[in-house]
């Protein structure tokens, strides 16, 4: 029920110009191949977020209210007020795939550009999952 409610909420935020459809029950497992491909790559991502890119992201979906994004004190980045957290107690692959899909869908919605992770979350599985999601998105 919660997953269905989340999908409906994310669909409302969806912007057809991003070129991807948000996860539904049908295509939820279709991303499994891309997840497995990117999850096994251990090299760090190159690059970083710029002020210009974060500002452009904040404007990409007109259905997301501008008050959703702020510039933290001492930063020139424009960040969403809501982020995706990756802490959970489960160290299982189905949790990794669910987290991967949640990150991809949240970013594609145009409303979330903050993902919280740490090497101690799930024995680094969260960091590997975030890495896989970012590789899919870029």
Rounded average pLDDT over 19-28 = 52
Arithmetic mean of pLDDT over the chain: 80
Q: Please give the share of the chain, as a percent, with pLDDT higher than 90.
A: 43
Residue ranges per domain, the chain? 2-15+23-44+82-137
Rounded average pLDDT over 44-52 = 90
Rounded average pLDDT over 29-52 = 86
Count Cα atoms within 13 angstroms, Cβ side, for 102. 22
Alpha helices in the chain (DSSP H): 2-13, 32-39, 51-58, 93-108, 125-137
Q: Write out pLDDT tens, residues 59-100.
A: 999 999 999 999 999 999 999 999 998 887 766 777 888 899
């Amino acid at each position: 029920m919660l997953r269905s409610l989340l999908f409906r909420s994310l669909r409302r935020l969806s912007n057809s110009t991003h070129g991807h459809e948000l996860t539904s029950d049908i295509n939820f497992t279709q991303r499994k191949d891309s997840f497995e491909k990117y999850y096994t790559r251990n090299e760090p991502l190159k690059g970083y977020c710029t002020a210009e890119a974060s500002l452009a992201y904040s404007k990409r979906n007109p259905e997301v209210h501008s008050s959703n994004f702020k510039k933290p004190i001492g930063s020139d980045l424009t960040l969403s007020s809501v982020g995706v957290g990756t802490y959970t107690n489960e160290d299982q692959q189905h949790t990794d795939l669910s987290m991967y899909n949640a990150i991809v869908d949240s970013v594609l919605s145009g409303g979330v550009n903050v993902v919280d992770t740490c090497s101690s979350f799930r024995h680094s599985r969260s960091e590997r999952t975030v890495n896989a999601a970012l590789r899919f998105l870029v």
